[in-house]
């Protein structure tokens, strides 16, 4: 088996002990910046397979995961975000559990635009983001080496999707932190989630609201658009069957809102609001009752607004979210028609309000 264990480091919590907010310990997470046991077993099995049949590829895989281990160990040596913020608070006569600590860090996260924030984030936070990207790419590399071998294909895809969802959730959290209408108390809890992510390096295991977002992306990943009459009924049905009660309540409460309708259609059809209007206009103009994927592309040309979410690479759903978010922000700045927020942000806000009263 490939050795993927990481040693202890300054600024990290003891292995097996993590915190889920500015306080209580968690005993159910692996050491910081280490693969989960099932991930280690999966890579070990793949390495054993490659070593016996394709030794050169096996060596490449071992080298890639050794580099990932070294990167994780390097990131874990930087001071934890929680310890750094607590230390600053103590020098201000406060403490790590002082509300001013969280408020101060929240202010620093919200004070800059997404582009300017990068150089203001703690090194551990930036390193964590880079580590997740490296981990995602390492498992994607393993997937390329083994192809569609059934024993490896689905487990690898699930790991890649899970890491991608963590990176996506981080982006959604930041979008909500930038929203002046989001409750400050809730933003504080979101900061706790982000700090736990950056300090543990074990994805958003401690984030209370992450499962709702991951469920949405996982279902969308498995539900490609079929277009047809462009009413979205079949796509919405497939997505809704895989979601929980609060998703149904979200739809009931929000579907009369044109903004929500537009964001939902973008999410379901993998098309921008503007592209959907163009396709529907052509259907009405030429009296066409249904349309195929190829016909949609012929209507819109060869440069779609959004990356196509496809089964061969679950990382595409990350591009799909960022493109929709940036387009929504652009519409808001220009007062243009169409959704000004992504479906994920709308659903996340609803989910939090429902869960936290």
**Domain assignment of residue 9, yes or no:** no
3-state secondary structure of 339: coil
Q: Residue 231: which domain range?
A: 215-356
pTM of the model: 0.80
Same domain, 203 and 252: no
**The pLDDT value given to residue 204:** 57
As beta bridge partners, residue 228 has 291
Instruction: Provide the angle, in degrees to the nearest 10, between the axes of the packed helices 99-110 and 150-177.
Output: 100
Same domain, 257 and 287: yes
| Tens of each residue's pLDDT in the chain, 357 residues | 444 333 333 333 433 333 333 333 343 444 678 898 999 999 999 999 999 999 999 999 999 999 999 999 999 999 888 876 654 444 444 444 555 556 677 777 776 676 677 788 889 999 999 999 999 999 999 999 999 898 999 999 989 988 998 898 888 888 888 888 888 888 888 888 888 888 888 765 545 666 778 888 888 877 777 766 677 777 788 888 878 888 899 999 998 899 999 999 999 888 999 999 988 888 888 888 777 777 787 778 767 888 888 777 888 889 999 999 999 999 999 999 999 999 999 998 888 877 776
The angle subtended at Cα 305 by Cα 302 and Cα 308, nearest 5°, is: 80
Same domain, 193 and 114: yes
**The pLDDT value given to residue 209:** 66
Same domain, 203 and 269: no
Same domain, 142 and 266: no
Same domain, 243 and 168: no
**The pLDDT value given to residue 85:** 66
Same domain, 124 and 176: yes
- What is the residue-wise DSSP string for 5-70? -----TTSPPTT-EESSSS-EE-SSPSTT---HHHHHHHHHHHHHHHHH-HHHHHHHHHHHHHHHH
**The pLDDT value given to residue 66:** 96
Same domain, 198 and 250: no
- CA–CA separation, 336 and 345 (whole Å): 19
**Domain assignment of residue 6, yes or no:** no
What is the number of domains present in the chain? 2
Q: Are 338 and 273 in contact (CB under 8 A)?
A: yes
Same domain, 39 and 168: yes
């Amino acid at each position: 088996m490939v050795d993927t264990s990481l040693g202890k480091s300054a600024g990290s919590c003891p292995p097996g002990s993590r915190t889920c907010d500015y306080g209580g310990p968690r005993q159910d997470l692996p050491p910081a910046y280490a693969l989960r046991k099932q991930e280690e077993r999966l890579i070990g099995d793949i390495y054993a397979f490659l070593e016996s049949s394709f030794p050169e590829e096996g060596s490449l895989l071992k080298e890639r995961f050794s580099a990932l281990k070294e990167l994780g160990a390097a990131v874990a040596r930087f001071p934890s975000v929680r310890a750094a913020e607590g230390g600053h608070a103590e020098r201000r006569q406060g403490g790590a559990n002082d509300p001013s600590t969280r408020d101060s860090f929240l202010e620093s996260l919200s004070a800059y635009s997404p582009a300017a924030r990068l150089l203001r984030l703690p090194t551990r936070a930036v390193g964590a983001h880079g580590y997740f990207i490296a981990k995602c790419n390492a498992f994607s590399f393993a997937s390329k080496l083994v192809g569609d071998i059934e024993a490896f294909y689905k487990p690898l895809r699930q790991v890649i999707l899970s890491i991608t969802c963590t990176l996506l959730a981080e982006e959604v959290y930041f979008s909500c932190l930038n929203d002046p209408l989001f409750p400050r108390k809730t933003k504080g809890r979101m900061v706790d989630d982000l700090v736990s992510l950056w300090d543990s390096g074990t994805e958003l295991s401690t984030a209370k609201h992450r499962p709702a977002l991951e469920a949405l992306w996982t279902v969308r990943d498995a539900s490609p658009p079929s277009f047809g009459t462009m009413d979205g009924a079949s796509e919405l049905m497939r997505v809704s069957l895989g979601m929980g009660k609060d998703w149904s309540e979200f739809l009931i409460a929000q579907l009369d809102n044109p903004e929500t309708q537009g964001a939902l259609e973008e999410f379901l059809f993998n098309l921008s609001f503007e592209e959907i209007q163009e396709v529907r206009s052509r259907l009405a103009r030429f009296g066409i009752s249904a349309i195929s994927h190829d016909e949609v592309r012929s209507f819109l040309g060869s440069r779609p607004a959004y990356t196509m979410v496809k089964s061969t690479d679950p990382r595409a759903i990350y591009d799909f979210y960022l493109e929709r978010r940036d387009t929504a922000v652009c519409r808001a700045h220009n007062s243009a028609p169409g959704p000004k927020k992504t479906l994920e942000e709308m659903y996340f806000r609803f989910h939090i309000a429902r869960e936290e009263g």
